[in-house]
Structure 1
Amino acid sequence: MRNPLPPVPGKLLELEVSDDLKRGTPLATLIAAPSEEDGDAGLAEIGGVRPTGKAGDVQTVPTGGVRWLAGVGDGEPKQYRKAGAALVRAVTSALEEDVKAGEKAFRAFAVELPADAGAEHVEELAFGLLLGGYRFTVTAEEPKPSLRTVRLITRHEGAVGALERVRELAAAAAFARDLANTPSNVKTPAWLADTAARAAGGIPNLTVTARDEKWLAEQGFGGVLAVGGGSAAPPRLIELEYRPRGATTHLLLVGKGITFDTGGLSIKPADGMHLMRTDMAGGAAIIAAVRAIATLRLPVKVTGLVPAAENHVSGSSYRPGDIVRHYGGKTTEVGNTDAEGRMVLADALVYGIKKHKPDAVIDAATLTGAMKVSLGVRTGGVFATEDALAERVTKAGERVGEAWWRMPLLEDLAETVQGSLGDVRQAPGGPGGIVAALFLREFVGDVPWAHLDIAGPARADKTYADVVPGATGFAARTLVELVASYA
């Protein structure tokens, strides 16, 4: 019987650049909205359709050489991403309708860009085309005919070079989505480790090592073992090492890898628990980013660590009131077993810093629901010990279309994470995102550190821009671009 699980990582569309249209290929053209001065009179009819030009508005043309009109609004690059995503969804729908009607399935289409579109416009359009039609479906049905290739019709000389980088950034986001969308009855910590190793196979200078529960116990990873102790699926530490020849800068990337989160004995409400398959979205972003960094051959040494565990309920679950000893010896008073992400990150941060002595550390995690209240579901929170590092993260996000907002590490609250029975308290109360970050800061010492809380933007319940419902792959592109900024 065919495995109903889609391949992970999945395959993206192929993008080609050409200055002419291949005969018989369905064509879409990009249309800018008319200026206020011109009004509706500024756009002539095409095949009996008067285009709106509104960003993301796709219209079907019944006659003539052009089949679709896609609006790019005011023509700013970010509007091209919106147009590309809407267009690929519309074309996919048209392909399915053609097949239902008994017509021959087309597997490619072309997009004609305006003459003044530059490399940045090409990049943004490509992001939309590559990610806007993303799907992840577990089904026993045979795969439906799907698009394979998009040809970009443009004479811009930098278009080919622009696409090389975008392909890998989009592949990183899609891979992170695949990992986070995979159902948790499949996605055990061992599966996640095996998948990371398989995806890294054959990439120069990249190795993946999976540490099992016996090794974790020998090394004293008390946080990971406590969180994973309630599950029949034992925890893992996934260690990715990218070592390009001649690199001098070393960055440590750490991602929360909770493959399912019941909340433990401090159990979550049932209504939203099914979404907790994506609670390892931070770890997914790290795995996907390191793979892309190695594929792009960026001249920066990178180590990725993903402490992976399933937070379950059983007689061996850890309890509120427990004292847990982390790697390195520091102890934590457990207040809430649903604050498990910071427990596994604490072990990995200390281990990574001690072993690898990095120049900077960045962690990513779906850590606190409080950040969804603070920033909504489309913006990630950045906590950092250095202004320069915080700015690097936010600027990297701007360049790849991911929004970040810097949050404060309030010193007035620092004493709240200090323990009485142990060294620190895991869930002391107060503003959730800030105290969680302050807790993690206790485990990083003097190394420049940034904590990325992606609890809001890691998941989506509706379509917008190049995002579709489910896991978004948020942070993977930012991390690749951040590492590139050190090159």
Structure 2
Amino acid sequence: MRTPVPTALVEVEVAEAPRSGVPVVVLTTDGLGETTRDGDGWSLGVGTGAPTTWRTAGACLVRALDAAADSGGPRSYDVLLPATADAERVRALVLGAALGGYRFKLTAEAPPTRVESLRLVVPDLGYVDVLAAEAHRAHELATATAFSRDLANTPSNIKDPQWLASTAAKHAAKVPGLHAVVHDEKWLAEHGFGGVLAVGGGSPRAPRLLELSWSPRSAAAHVPHVVLVGKGITFDTGGISIKPADGMHLMRTDMSGGAAVIAAMITIAARALPVRVTGLVPCAENHVSGSAYRPGDIVRHYGGTTTEITNTDAEGRIVLADALAYATDVLGPDVLVDVATLTGAMKVSLGLRTGGLFASTDELAGRIAAAGGRAAENWWRMPLLEEHADAVKGDVADVRQCPPGPGGITAALFLRTFTAGLPWAHLDIAGPARSEKDLDEVVPGATGFATRTLIELIESYA
């Protein structure tokens, strides 16, 4: 099966002076994202000039330049930056420009011609090095986001659990110091991963557990070992509790949490951040067959905890439980963070642009929210309401899969029982992981949401 290469993004560099004969883009305060063409040159409105508007403007610009390039226009431009172009605004502009033109399409047609490079011309030469470093960093984040999108957008007739895990391992092998292990169904059975095996039991394409580990050569003694866990359901029919047909085709992106962890781990290692990080991605297909798990089944997770199944479409928490229990028992983490397209309840609560943030400590919650702010990804902290904790307890098993009460909160409380009391955060990205239209740097399909936040989170410990 074909292994995707991260989508080629528009290249960005910072320079001291414009080039002769190269068309220019002039930034103005006119309408946000409005692009006006004058011959080969363009003007671009950045609105009020806030950093967020620069990100929007960058995305609008590259879409307009792509359309022009496909009609025979130039493929390289100099962007003349105003004096207000500080590091934060340049970072936002590059992020928007790099991601705004992203497209994923498998077709026999020749790919459209696209703009290839933007050269940001700095008015104050004293800031060239600073802005160049910021532009490079933003492009790294955009590349990670694009790779996460590539993985999630890949159709499920290509992307099964083995493909996802092995593709991640192949890319990890290219990064010095990043180690990947793919555990197969025999290993999972020998080590008691009953949740992953139950969810994957209805498909002939067996489940896998991907384990990525990054251990820097040197790290300060106080720096924690962080374990990132991402849901890797490569397709989700809902199982016996089958989903409606409408929208089921989107379930190829149900491994967006796992994709975010994979892309983040590759970037963390490529940057050689001085923080020990492990990434776990339990990979499975949730299908309907005679061997599928059923409502009423009792599943025994890694470590022995049992769960009473009430809805086979709530499979994400079942595979995450195994991975969290394994992490606490074997890996010795100081901090746990899981990320998943987990509940429709969170999509209803927060919409399509904001992720749900649950955390066991205020410090970790604040750290993740701050990381999201730097990454241009919005999070809203949700409560872990203790009055619903007893509902997680099972009648015929240790815990119940779908406790009564507010769905996003009770799902988080279920996962908390597998974290051994460690500092832990659960990121529910059911809403922002997918988009149906262009929204700033977001394009239709998988968004790569949470990838940049995870990278910024680890960098905050460094």
Q: TM-score, normalised by structure 1?
A: 0.92
- Matched with 1:101 is none
Please say if residues 207 and 241 of structure 1, whose CA atoms lie closer than 8 Å, have aligned partners that are also in contact: yes
Q: Deviations over 1:377-403 (max 9, x none)?
A: 100000010001001011100111000
- Matched with 2:13 is 16
Whole-angstrom distance in 2 between the partners of 1:125 and 1:139: 30
- Matched with 1:235 is 207
- Matched with 1:202 is 174
1:117 paired with 2:89, answer no
Partner SS state of residue 202, structure 1: coil
- Cα 1:6–1:127 change in 2 (3 A) is farther
Considering only CA atoms, is the larger Rg found in Structure 1 or Structure 2?
1
1:109 offset after TM fit, Å? 1.7
Whole-angstrom distance in 1 between the partners of 2:36 and 2:198: 55
1:370 paired with 2:345, answer yes
1:446 paired with 2:421, answer yes
1:69-468 equivalences in 2 (<5 Å)? 69-98=43-72, 106-154=74-122, 155=124, 156-157=127-128, 158-247=130-219, 248=221, 249-468=224-443
1:353 offset after TM fit, Å? 1.6
Query: In structure 1, what residue type is equivalent to 2:24?
Result: L
Partner SS state of residue 310, structure 2: coil
Query: In structure 2, what residue type is equivalent to 1:315?
Result: G
- In structure 1, list runs of 5 or more residues that go unmatched: 33-52, 99-104
Q: Between the two proteins, what is the percent identity of the paired residues?
A: 60
- Matched with 1:59 is 36
Partner SS state of residue 205, structure 2: coil
Query: In structure 1, what residue type is equivalent to 2:378?
Result: A
- Matched with 1:43 is none
Q: Which is further off, 141-150 or 385-394?
A: 141-150
Query: In structure 2, what residue type is equivalent to 1:15?
Result: V
1:152 offset after TM fit, Å? 0.8
Please say if residues 323 and 332 of structure 1, whose CA atoms lie closer than 8 Å, have aligned partners that are also in contact: yes
Query: In structure 2, what residue type is equivalent to 1:86?
Result: C
Whole-angstrom distance in 2 between the partners of 1:360 and 1:30: 43
- Cα 1:149–1:168 change in 2 (3 A) is same
Whole-angstrom distance in 2 between the partners of 1:178 and 1:256: 16
Whole-angstrom distance in 1 between the partners of 2:112 and 2:162: 31
- In structure 2, list runs of 5 or more residues that go unmatched: none
Query: In structure 1, what residue type is equivalent to 2:90?
Result: V
1:481 to 449, 456, 459: 456
Whole-angstrom distance in 2 between the partners of 1:92 and 1:23: 22
Query: In structure 1, what residue type is equivalent to 2:109?
Result: E
Whole-angstrom distance in 2 between the partners of 1:228 and 1:9: 27
- Cα 1:6–1:469 change in 2 (3 A) is farther
Q: Deviations over 1:127-161 (max 9, x none)?
A: 01110000100111223322221111114331111
- Cα 1:368–1:470 change in 2 (3 A) is same
Whole-angstrom distance in 2 between the partners of 1:30 and 1:283: 38
Whole-angstrom distance in 1 between the partners of 2:6 and 2:333: 29
Please say if residues 3 and 167 of structure 2, whose CA atoms lie closer than 8 Å, have aligned partners that are also in contact: no
Q: TM-score, normalised by structure 2?
A: 0.96
Aligned residues: 455
Query: In structure 2, what residue type is equivalent to 1:189?
Result: P
1:58 offset after TM fit, Å? 1.4
1:27 to 9, 12, 24: 24
Partner SS state of residue 22, structure 1: coil
Q: Deviations over 1:208-228 (max 9, x none)?
A: 110000100000000000000
Whole-angstrom distance in 2 between the partners of 1:97 and 1:202: 37
Whole-angstrom distance in 2 between the partners of 1:480 and 1:190: 25
Whole-angstrom distance in 2 between the partners of 1:110 and 1:144: 22
Whole-angstrom distance in 2 between the partners of 1:76 and 1:6: 39
1:6 offset after TM fit, Å? 8.2
Partner SS state of residue 71, structure 2: helix
Whole-angstrom distance in 2 between the partners of 1:284 and 1:185: 17
Partner SS state of residue 6, structure 2: coil
Q: Deviations over 1:291-312 (max 9, x none)?
A: 1111111100000000000000
Please say if residues 6 and 136 of structure 1, whose CA atoms lie closer than 8 Å, have aligned partners that are also in contact: no
Please say if residues 7 and 102 of structure 2, whose CA atoms lie closer than 8 Å, have aligned partners that are also in contact: no
Query: In structure 2, what residue type is equivalent to 1:22?
Result: R
Please say if residues 68 and 74 of structure 2, whose CA atoms lie closer than 8 Å, have aligned partners that are also in contact: no
Whole-angstrom distance in 2 between the partners of 1:170 and 1:239: 24
Query: In structure 2, what residue type is equivalent to 1:55?
Result: L
Whole-angstrom distance in 1 between the partners of 2:43 and 2:388: 54
